[in-house]
């Protein structure tokens, strides 16, 4: 019996599953009990998303709705003629960052490779989220009836496909495992 357990724990696939499960559980505890209730990090990331999304929309020549007096509830970005899109905590990408990082940390690979790949992944996932929010603002103006479908299905598919490509790149090209 002890030998079976030892064989399971030394199996690379089982070890990866155990590590990633532990990291995900640790993330849930840390996020739900400390990070999210404090709101500091969530609001910082949301503010970055709104600022960078605003920059993209202005660069494209769109007229934005005026900013309200900033407080912790103001999380809206929108184009003139719309009510804007509200960015909630689940949409800020923090949990997706954690999912990505957990996979990279749990998967075998050299530390130096992980030290550049993790920030690269987080930054590019964040930039994709900025583009998503700007695109949702445009969709709300041009085709408001398509907003929910794009938010729920199209952009979710795009984001998770990109994360899967990052994982694939790591597992097959960079980890040397």
Strands (E), the chain: 76-77, 85-86
With cut-offs at 50, 70 and 90, classify the pLDDT of residue 68: low
Per-residue pLDDT at 145 exceeds 80 = yes
Average pLDDT, the chain: 90
Beta bridge partners of 76: 86
Q: How many domains does the chain have?
A: 1
pLDDT band for 71, please (50, 70, 90 cuts): very low
Tell whether 17 is covered by a domain. no
How confident is the model over 24-35, as a mean pLDDT?
Answer: 91
**What pLDDT sits at residue 89?**
87
On whether residue 14 sits in a domain, the answer given is no
User: Is 62 part of any domain?
Assistant: yes
- Show the domain range for 100: 39-174
pLDDT at 70 (0 to 100):
43
Over residues 1-11, the mean pLDDT reads 75
Beta bridge partners of 64: 79
Three-class SS state of 77:
strand
What percent of the chain has a predicted confidence (pLDDT) above 90? 73
Q: Please report which confidence band the pLDDT of residue 7 belongs to, taking 50, 70 and 90 as the band edges.
A: confident
Residue 121 in any domain: the answer is: yes
- Which residue, among 59, 47, 139, has the nearest Cα to 93 in the 3D structure? 47
Residue 33 maps to a domain: no
Contacts of residue 173, defined as CB under 8 A and 6 or more positions apart, other chains included, come to none
In Å, what is the CA distance from 19 to each residue of 5, 101, 137?
16, 12, 39
More confident residue, 67 or 18: 18
Is 76 a domain residue?
yes
For residue 28, tell me if it sits in a domain: no
Report if residue 126 sits inside a domain.
yes
* pLDDT more than 70, % of the chain: 95
């Amino acid at each position: 019996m002890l030998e079976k357990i030892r064989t399971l724990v030394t199996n690379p696939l089982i070890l990866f599953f155990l590590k990633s499960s532990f990291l995900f559980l640790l993330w849930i505890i840390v996020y739900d009990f400390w990070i999210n209730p404090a709101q500091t990090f969530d609001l910082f990331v949301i503010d970055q998303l709104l600022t960078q999304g605003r920059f993209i929309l202005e660069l494209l020549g769109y007229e934005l709705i005026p900013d309200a007096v900033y407080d912790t509830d103001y999380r809206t970005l929108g184009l003139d003629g719309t009510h804007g899109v509200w960015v909630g905590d689940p949409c800020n990408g923090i949990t997706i960052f954690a999912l990505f990082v957990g996979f990279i940390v749990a998967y075998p690979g050299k530390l130096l490779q992980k030290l550049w790949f993790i920030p690269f992944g987080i930054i590019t996932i964040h930039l994709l989220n900025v583009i998503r929010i700007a695109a949702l603002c445009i969709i709300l103006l041009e085709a408001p009836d398509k907003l929910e479908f794009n938010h729920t299905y199209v952009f979710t598919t795009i984001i998770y496909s990109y994360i899967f490509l990052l994982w694939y790149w790591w597992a097959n090209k960079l980890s040397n495992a």
